[in-house]
Amino acid sequence: MPKLAVLAINGGEKRCNVVWPTWPMWDDHERQGLLAVLESGKWWYGDRVKEFEEKFAAFQSALYGVTATSGTTALETALVALGIGNGDEVIVPPYTFVATASAVLRVGAIPIFADIQPHTLCIDPDDVARKITARTKAIIPVHLAGYVADLDRLGEIAAAHHLALIEDACHSWGSQWKGKGTGAIGACGVFSFQASKNITSAEGGIILTDNEQLADDCRSFTNVGRRKGGAWYQHFNAGSNLRLTEFQAALLLAQLTRLEAHTLTRQTNADIITQGLRGLPGIIPIENDSRITRRGYHLYTIRLDLDALGITRDRFVDALTAEGVPASVGYTIPLYKNPLFERMSIDPTSRPYLGDRVDYRQVSCPVCEQVCADTCWLFHTLLLADESAMRAIVAAIRKVCENVGELQPT
């Protein structure tokens, strides 16, 4: 029998032979910065942390920045500083990293899931409006993959119901909404600098806001309850120690020098992929929103029309990866299907135990469930390769789509 397979997964030749950029990227900026901190003997929460906070806030067009140990603790800080706590409800999307919802639980509040939009993968303002109750105190949209959630509609809803709008901007360094950086468009926004992120110090996070009082409250919480003007051993609230070190700030200052150029390169390269995939049967395009005046890509997301392709997303990802384009299945279940949430409704020993008040087993966000089954991700590092690599990504995706018959069950 002649061998019909042309797809690499079936023994054919790989379509893409690019050596992909590795992450994190670093050079003498990082080396010199770290050495300077080491040799100064000033390792603790000082001038470099302050300098980074100011520079990153300015980069995202915010007035104030308060660093924290991670995106997760930055979210917790924002919630505490906004007075959100026991029994309050906070509306979150289910297509996100667990921290968006677990931070809500950590402060004693209850995450309520609103569905996402199929063509943006961000929270659906119509479903947010449906989920508001007398207990709702905040909305946390996630700018997923760097795509900015509809901040106009969400801002209107938040204002009409006196809710805080907290941007989970942990994927959106460099993204802009109508010319303003993400983060301080709502009451505040949080960013992560964890190792996989577009600017990193291995771990770290920041809260951005235009509200000085809120910034002071965040600072106090991250610095063991101290306050500006207070004595060293005077503590005004049960804050935590969420301070960054000068080593982390040195890394972040060095990384920040590349963020603008990297953001523009990723955007240009992502546009090449988007153009190249236009009209390709099997691919559902992500909508363009002209209000997103700059898009910082943490991920390039690809929604698949599984009916047209006749295969599962996982099979597609395996085939694309075999062609030389490392792809990921991303989030495979909505957050509310995690044991963490299911347990809170059924196990009285769970903390918190919500019983009938919110039964996460009954939650249904159909768009998110579909997206969890049909979407795959390319990581931001691929978007830092050259233009010919982008054309190779397109060619590899086209090859898989056009030869999908080879992957279909017989």
Ligand X SMILES: Cc1ncc(COP(=O)(O)O)c(C=O)c1O
Residue nearest to ligand X (CB): 71
Q: Which helix (H) or strand (E) holds 136?
A: strand 136-139
Identity of the residue, 186 or 205, whose beta carbon is nearer to ligand X in the bound complex: 205
97 binds ligand X (CB under 6 A): yes
> How many binding residues for ligand X (CB under 6 A)?
14
Closest approach, Cβ 358 to ligand X, in A, equals 21
96 binds ligand X (CB under 6 A): yes
170 binds ligand X (CB under 6 A): yes
Closest approach, Cβ 71 to ligand X, in A, equals 2
Identity of the residue, 204 or 239, whose beta carbon is nearer to ligand X in the bound complex: 204
137 is catalytic: no
Identity of the residue, 99 or 277, whose beta carbon is nearer to ligand X in the bound complex: 99
Block residue for tokens 């919802």: 101
Q: Which stretch binds ligand X (CB under 6 A): 35-43, 69-77, 339-347, 361-369?
A: 69-77
Torsion of CA 179, 76, 253, 47, to 10 degrees: 120
Closest approach, Cβ 70 to ligand X, in A, equals 3
* Rounded Cα distance, 84 and 93, in Å: 18
Taking CB under 6 A as the criterion, which residues in 180-239 touch ligand X?
192, 194, 205
Closest approach, Cβ 196 to ligand X, in A, equals 7
Q: Which stretch binds ligand X (CB under 6 A): 67-75, 216-224, 302-310, 373-381?
A: 67-75
Q: From the candidates 137, 197, 337, 399, which is the catalytic residue?
A: 197
Strand partners, 138: 90, 164
The sign one gets for the Cα dihedral 259, 265, 268, 269 is: negative
Q: Three-state SS for 165?
A: strand
Burial environment of residue 7 by CB neighbours within 10 A (0 to 12, 13 to 18, 19 or more) = buried
Binding mask 109-148 vs ligand X (x if CB under 6 A, - otherwise)? ---------------------------------x------
Q: Where are the alpha helices (DSSP H) in 125-184?
A: 125-131, 151-160
- The phi-psi region of residue 365 (left if phi > 0; otherwise alpha if psi is between -120 and 50; otherwise beta) is beta
What φ, ψ does residue 98 adopt, rounded to 5°? -55, -30
49 binds ligand X (CB under 6 A): no
Q: Which helix (H) or strand (E) holds 267?
A: helix 246-277
Binding residues (CB under 6 A) for ligand X: these are 70-72, 96-97, 99-100, 142, 168, 170-171, 192, 194, 205
Q: Catalytic amino acids?
A: 197
